[in-house]
Structure 1
Amino acid sequence: MALVRFNQPSSVFPYRNLLNELLNDFNTSVGQDYRSNIPAVNVHESETEYTLEVAAPGQNKENFNINLDGRVLTISSEQKEEKKEENGKWTRKEFNYSSFKRSFTLPENVNAENIEAKYENGVLVVVVPKAEEVKPKSIAVK
């Protein structure tokens, strides 16, 4: 059996390729704009902890919210900025608003009480220590 490529005659739908190109360009540009608001996150695991590094330059540490609900760690940030410039007869106002929210499901072996975070040089570092392993214990029957 042979695989045969099917080509739709362009005379039936003369604008099909143009429409596909426009839609692909639109989806690509919308997707890039959407992704640009979500910071990249590096996750490292060592023997004693998990480290999340969130690339968030230009933020203030006061803008970050870090919550733990069960095993779901959520990191979010909301930043609002307003600039107002007045000069005689005219006034110029500029508004800037940016936010993001990322959630991570943590493994069962974490010590939730000792999670720490710091923001330095445009990178939010969240350290999630691992819990001590509970070793099985043999109990003698009396």
Structure 2
Amino acid sequence: MSTLATMPKHGNEVSTKRNTSSLPSFSSWVDNLIEGGMGTGFLSNFNTGMTLPAVNIKENADEFFLEIAVPGMKKSDFNIDVDNKVLSISSETREEQEHKEENYTRREFGYSSFKRTFTLPDTIESDKISAQYKEGILTVHLPKKEEAKDKPAKRITIS
């Protein structure tokens, strides 16, 4: 016999149970799977196709840059739109393969998509936004308006 330690969902108490059988019943296995968080996380991500890609946002005096990690894609896979100060970056890809031989046919297909949206500040020149895709990183360049750029310090003379 073995002793199992179980943690409740909120992690405050530890209890021990004696395992009296060598294999758990199917229903207890499913209950443990769902109660342990695996069930809800697994089911919520089951048909999403792709998780949201990681994004870095960089800023300097003249511009912002968004760097989005999306390896294995092509430039043509992306849609980038600006509408009412909202920048939307999305992708949808589908792939089908079919392999036929004398006794069987194997057909595989895949689908993935994502959409990220960003509310742009008033300081962005939306007409000058540009993007580049290189080595799995989509970089979106967001230039600032001239009046929003940091100006060097200026000495004021007293008259």
Contact 2:50 2:114 in 1 (8 A): no
Q: What's the Cα RMSD here? A: 2.3
Q: Give the share of equivalent positions with the same residue, in percent.
A: 42
SS of the residue 1:118 aligns to: strand
Q: Which residue of 1 aligns with 2:147?
A: 133
Q: How many residues align?
A: 118
The counterpart of 2:113, out of the listed 74, 95, 99, is 99
TM-score (norm 1): 0.74
Q: Which has the higher contact order (CA 8 A, sep 6+)?
A: 1
Q: Which residue of 2 aligns with 1:113?
A: 127
The unaligned stretches of length 5 or more in structure 1 are 1-6, 8-17, 135-142
The unaligned stretches of length 5 or more in structure 2 are 1-12, 14-29, 149-159
The counterpart of 2:38, out of the listed 12, 25, 28, is 25
- Over 3 Å counting, the alpha-carbon distance change for 1:48 and 1:30 in structure 2 is farther
Which amino acid in 1 is paired with 2:115? K
Which of structure 1's runs of 4+ aligned residues deviate more than 6 A? none
SS of the residue 1:107 aligns to: coil
After superposition, the C-alpha distances for 1:47-74 in whole angstroms (9 at most, x for unaligned) are 1111000100111110100000011000
SS of the residue 1:37 aligns to: coil
